[in-house]
């Protein structure tokens, strides 16, 4: 049974006497929660309600504390504001790798490479980025990063933007090391597309947010690639140089509450790891805002998260969040 708004208000009133000390008044929490529920079309069972409301209040407190400090990052009540950080990580992060900093000689030699390309680029303005998609409660972020990179490469070469199928990758690339909603890697997905002779269009193989039986047929094919390249580990100048040519798949550490609740600004999280990566996203450009260098990152949590589904992540900040640790891009057929 889902609670009516009247019952929600009643439960909020009853909760006043059991609230622990918080930053805001009970009325402020209640008004904010009701408004947030309306905005995001949330409804809970009687059993769910207390936990969701408690998580919401704690997130409100965290947002207030963060935004009270000097930071280029602004947090807000995102679609994940009723989740604890552990719940968020469990349901929405889909890459689980720990990349050791073990650079080979060739990679070390590239540490002296200095990018001298354009000061900024935004592939959204050039038609090489499809609409923001939503992975739902399925750890398939890696498939969205993959399709985004292939969509961009295909559009740049052919002039046609074709939205491609994440579900095709979720259902069919298990033999390449991917695990559907339990995680995967973009390079594994690239390998599958190459060997498969292409990837289906979104319209012919729509997303379900659950792993199923592989249904790909050649008639579904929307694009193909002939190879891919990996960015030397940790080399941001190499990543920026690749981005000057096309969108690039990247893996990042997105485990922090600051990412979960990101609203706007250039993301700067001192606790971010450059080795423990847990989320696949798509870099679609770069630039500088008020002296702060950034990458434009397309996420797969729908357009209501972040800045219309995007996050500006710190660039030239010692590979913050591992943005250049495991980056790769496809070569269109």
Catalytic residue list: 141, 279, 299
End-to-end CA distance of the chain: 52
Separation between Cα atoms, residue 179 and residue 16, nearest integer Å: 44
User: What are the start-end ranges of the E strands in 12-165?
Assistant: 73-75, 97-98, 121-122
Cβ proximity of 167 and 206 under 8 Å:
yes
Q: Give the dihedral sign, CA 181/182/186/189.
A: negative
Count how many residues are written for the chain.
333
Separation between Cα atoms, residue 208 and residue 45, nearest integer Å: 24
Separation between Cα atoms, residue 252 and residue 281, nearest integer Å: 8
Specify burial of residue 152 (Cβ count, 10 A radius: 0-12, 13-18, 19+).
Answer: buried
Separation between Cα atoms, residue 88 and residue 122, nearest integer Å: 29
Closest CA to 190 of 138, 226, 141: 226
H or E stretch covering 279 = strand 279-289
What are 200's two structure tokens? 């289906």
Specify burial of residue 279 (Cβ count, 10 A radius: 0-12, 13-18, 19+).
Answer: buried
Cβ proximity of 204 and 215 under 8 Å:
no
Instruction: Report the 10 Å Cβ neighbour count for 228.
Output: 21
Listing DSSP states for 197-223 in one string gives T-EEBTTTS---SS-------GGGEEE
Those residues whose C-beta lies under 8 Å from the C-beta of residue 47, and which sit 6 or more positions away, are none
């Amino acid at each position: 049974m889902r609670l009516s708004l009247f019952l929600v208000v009643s439960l909020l009133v009853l909760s006043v006497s059991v609230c622990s000390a918080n930053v805001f008044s009970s009325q402020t929490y209640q008004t904010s929660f009701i408004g947030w529920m309306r905005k995001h079309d949330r409804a809970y069972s009687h059993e769910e309600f207390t936990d969701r409301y408690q998580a919401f209040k704690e997130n409100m407190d965290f947002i207030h504390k963060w935004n009270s400090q000097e930071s280029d990052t602004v947090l807000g009540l995102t679609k994940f504001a009723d989740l604890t950080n552990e719940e968020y990580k469990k349901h929405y992060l889909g890459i689980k790798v720990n990349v050791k900093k073990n650079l080979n000689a060739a990679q070390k030699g590239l540490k002296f490479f200095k990018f001298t390309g354009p000061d900024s680029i935004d592939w959204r303005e050039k038609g090489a980025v499809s609409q923001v998609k939503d992975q739902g409660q399925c750890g398939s972020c890696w498939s969205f990063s993959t399709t985004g990179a292939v969509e961009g490469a295909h559009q740049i070469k052919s002039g046609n933007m074709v939205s491609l199928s994440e579900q095709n990758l979720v259902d069919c690339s298990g033999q390449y090391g991917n695990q559907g909603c339990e995680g995967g890697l973009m390079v594994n997905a690239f390998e599958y597309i190459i060997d498969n002779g292409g990837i289906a269009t979104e319209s012919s193989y729509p997303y379900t947010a659950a792993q199923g039986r592989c249904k790909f047929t050649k008639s579904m094919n929307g694009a193909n690639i002939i190879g891919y390249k990996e960015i030397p580990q940790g080399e941001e100048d190499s990543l920026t140089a690749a981005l000057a040519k096309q969108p690039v798949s990247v893996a990042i550490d997105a485990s922090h509450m600051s990412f979960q609740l990101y609203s706007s600004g250039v993301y700067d999280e001192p606790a971010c790891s450059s080795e423990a990566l847990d989320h696949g996203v798509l870099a679609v450009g770069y630039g500088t805002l008020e002296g702060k260098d950034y990458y434009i990152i397309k996420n797969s949590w729908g357009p209501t998260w972040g800045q219309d589904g995007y996050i500006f992540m710190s660039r030239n900040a010692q590979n913050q969040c591992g943005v250049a640790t495991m980056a790769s891009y496809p070569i269109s057929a």
